Structure 1
């Protein structure tokens, strides 16, 4: 069964929407629990999440890697599904994940679709259908067998940002990875806030500087803080 883990920090606009969707679109035989891991929200995120009695709320220090690991440590399902609060997986996602697991594909994600029809994002989302680590990111969500996750040591908490990419980089070296060819719909809010072309440029620079080993976790965070809202 699947444990769904959602890290949150001041997500009052999205948390109700994603929990409602998950409760309405999961088979109880497939999904064991929904864990919302809060990093110290100061808005109504937790108050809204508490309205859903079947959801477990966990508290953790701020930092998405810490929150994801904390959720995984409490999870009782054999499959972990890490989901961002502003991403909506396709209908039947739980069955698709378990089908992949039963087929021996112990980790993977969905291809991505943005809410926006901006040309740049249409091009970006097109690339996510390919099973190459350079086209991966947390917004595509991540499913992984819990035993495999534990064997990899979880997310690297040194990474304040880019933690999902760093983990997937290690994951690709150790296990089979599968891209399910159904789209997860994710928000384009960061592109709208930062500018579409500007944000894409900075994301590409972070990818490049990490993969050619010019930047470590501290330098990535400094670059991110300087250039991205």
Structure 2
């Protein structure tokens, strides 16, 4: 991929695709293929690696993505990535999430509304795209955008706070992210929730009615009942401020 700063692709409508990465060699080939199909193209694809020990960095570099290295911790990685982003709009895309080909146009069209500060896609959770979809978990994931803030921060829910998470492929203007203070650096889990609360002070939070396909690797490892219980439990721990417990109860799955 050509350097967007040299080709002049960075402008007021430019979009940086920001990928936080840690040992994602198994997931990256599908994502590389998906991002090659994007039309229009993003201004840049920027990977922030947190210390991968597999072939993740090599795969990203071979795809022509810009790769920078950061201390492990998704909040830290994303804060650095946004700071380094060359474009004025940023979409955070996890390595196991496959976007539609018109992702960039959706981001541009949504953020053309100045009333929207933060938005995300609607995730369908499953295996390989079109192989199978876990409809119950996908529906729960959709519903918690509303019920999580209603249960955990009801006073903020009434002012318009909605919670988006990593598998929503959330996107925003870089300037708004900086103004809101970014992610809390020490957070390893639920870092998106606090950002949503801060971003809601700047404008609306919107769940776009367009799908991304997100891997069901956690559900495959834990089982559907355990996975949905963990999602709910971590949300409650966040609500009561038990941050030290959240990471313990939400282990990595690759």
Q: TM-score range with shorter-chain normalisation?
A: 0.7 to 0.9
CA contact (8 A) 2:99 2:211 kept: yes
TM-score by length of 1: 0.88
> CA–CA distance in 1 between the matches of 2:225 and 2:197?
25
Q: Higher mean Cα deviation, 169-178 or 103-112?
A: 169-178
> CA–CA distance in 1 between the matches of 2:237 and 2:72?
25
1:144 aligns with 2:157: no
CA deviation after TM superposition for structure 1 residue 48, in Å: 1.2
**Which structure 2 segments of 5+ residues have no match?**
1-13, 127-131, 150-160
> CA–CA distance in 2 between the matches of 1:79 and 1:97?
8
RMSD across aligned C-alpha pairs, in angstroms? 2.2
Change (3 A) 1:107 1:135: closer
CA contact (8 A) 1:130 1:179 kept: no
**Residue number in structure 2 paired with 1:124:** 140
- Spell out, residue by residue over 1:36-59, the C-alpha distance to the aligned partner (whole angstroms, 9 max, x if none): 111110011111112123x10111
Partner SS state of residue 120, structure 2: strand
Q: Higher mean Cα deviation, 167-176 or 131-140?
A: 131-140
CA deviation after TM superposition for structure 1 residue 204, in Å: 0.6
CA contact (8 A) 1:8 1:37 kept: yes
TM-score by length of 2: 0.80
1:93-132 correspondence to structure 2 within 5 Å:
93-104=103-114, 105-115=116-126, 116-127=132-143
Q: Between Structure 1 and Structure 2, how many residues are aligned?
A: 222
**Residue number in structure 1 paired with 2:4:** none
Partner SS state of residue 250, structure 2: helix
> CA–CA distance in 2 between the matches of 1:7 and 1:61?
11
> CA–CA distance in 1 between the matches of 2:120 and 2:33?
21
> CA–CA distance in 1 between the matches of 2:191 and 2:104?
24
**Residue number in structure 1 paired with 2:33:** 20
**Residue number in structure 2 paired with 1:71:** 81
**Residue number in structure 1 paired with 2:202:** 174
Q: Higher mean Cα deviation, 115-124 or 10-19?
A: 115-124
1:177-188 correspondence to structure 2 within 5 Å:
177-188=205-216
CA deviation after TM superposition for structure 1 residue 173, in Å: 3.8
**Which structure 1 segments of 5+ residues have no match?**
none
CA deviation after TM superposition for structure 1 residue 128, in Å: 6.7
Change (3 A) 1:142 1:126: closer
> CA–CA distance in 2 between the matches of 1:126 and 1:32?
29
